[in-house]
Structure 1
Amino acid sequence: MNAAEELAKQWETLHLTKEESLCFHVQQEATRGHGNLCIVGKELVEKSVNSKAFRVTLSQVWRLEGWVKFKELGDQCFLLEFQKMVDKEKVLSGRPWFFDRSLLALQEVDETILINVLQFAYESFWIQLHNPPLATMTKLFGEAFASSIGPVIRVEVSANGHAWGRCLRVRVVVDLHKPLM
């Protein structure tokens, strides 16, 4: 009998005890958290981040109405809990954020996802389309052009769908694992 067959035979003899085979069922009420006031962030940097400087600097830059609590999750990942929803929305809408010249990727909390499987693959950025012909300074053109980069969130235009200025601004979701075009 070879080693693989011997190992398979030993595995067949293993069994869970009655106590070990009991299931644990989570009640629906126990899973309700406060994730609606939280964001998960990851500093996309190779070196470790000074967590105290990170907390102090971002708290000052954001100028929030209420408090924000930072909880380290490991691997440059943080849970940010806000006192007020308006502060959470301000931080999300002000993206992208950088600390120590590195991108801080943010995402809404999904309480059903395990912390160790969170992926920070996308981040939204404002892009500027400079010097297009005046006739193309429209919402339709901005959406069509910027969709080649990623999903378009918003084109900064007036109520009639036109923009006048030096550039056409478009907010786009960028895949962080792909090179920019």
Structure 2
Amino acid sequence: MESLEGLWKKLSLLDEEETGIACPKKAEPDTFTLAAKFLTKRVVNVESVARTFRPLWRSKKDVQIKDMGDNILFFNFEDECDLDRVIEYEPWTYDKHLVVFEKVTANVPLSSLAFQFTTFWIQIHELPVQCLNQETRDAIGSSLGTPLLMTDTESEGVRIDITKPLNRVRKVWSDESVIRCAILKYERLPNFCYWCGLVSHDDRYCERWLRSKGSLKKSDQNFGDWMRAEIDITT
């Protein structure tokens, strides 16, 4: 179906439609807005979300939450630094499902928010000795999505497209031949589908599973718990 934006561009507008109205301008925004799409199938409760995230975020200034419907919430921050800190510590989960955040600008309608990208921290395992260097890790990170500022951490921060299946491996080439498959493991990985590898749903709601009418077996799954990375927490 053609988008509404594409449709109106083709229409011959009436005089009243052509005239339109002037949008009020503000010198400085009162708040800084972060839109959040909750990928859980349950209806999201604003009060429950507030109880979950406010203690974790520890925002220095007030954060107001507005329900926009369809499991989309707007978080209105008084301090832009508080908003940026939330983005910095992605990914976030609620009810063990991914929460996809997107910054909102004043001139963008709600329908234009794609909720398509999220940052994951990815560990790279089983690299051959000759590839145990930052250059190789950076190349793998870039092949997965948009890498964050590279650091000396054990994992790569990469902003990935969540409309595509999670990547499990990366082939490592040398002299036009594959010398190894590096294994990718994701830190703080939320619920995702072991049939198709998408984070937008879990096994029960996968189209492949539903169409099979229960004929598929666990051994048919191409993704699994082995993609979850262990995090070394030191005190």
TM score, norm. by length of structure 2: 0.58
Q: How does 1:60-139 map to 2 (within 5 A)?
A: 60-133=55-128, 136-139=131-134
Runs of at least 5 residues in structure 2 that lack an aligned partner in the other structure: 1-12, 168-235
Runs of at least 5 residues in structure 1 that lack an aligned partner in the other structure: 1-14, 158-162
Amino acid at match of 2:156: V
Counterpart CA distance in 1 for 2:155 and 2:70 is 34
**Corresponding residue for residue 171 of structure 1:** 157
- State percent identity of aligned pairs: 25
Aligned 8 A contact 1:142 1:155 in 2: no
Shift of 1:156: 2.3
Q: Choose from 131, 135, 138 the match for 1:140.
A: 135
Shift of 1:131: 4.7
Counterpart CA distance in 1 for 2:81 and 2:17 is 46
2:148 aligned counterpart, secondary structure? strand
Counterpart CA distance in 1 for 2:28 and 2:73 is 17
Shift of 1:90: 1.2
Count matched residues.
155
Counterpart CA distance in 2 for 1:22 and 1:89 is 38
Deviations 1:19-48 (A, max 9, x none): x45612325x52666287221111112221
Note the aligned Cα RMSD (angstroms): 2.5
2:149 aligned counterpart, secondary structure? strand
Counterpart CA distance in 2 for 1:21 and 1:100 is 45
1:39 paired to 2:20:
no
Aligned 8 A contact 1:35 1:109 in 2: no
**Corresponding residue for residue 9 of structure 1:** none
TM score, norm. by length of structure 1: 0.74
Shift of 1:116: 2.0
Counterpart CA distance in 2 for 1:21 and 1:89 is 38
1:54 paired to 2:49:
yes
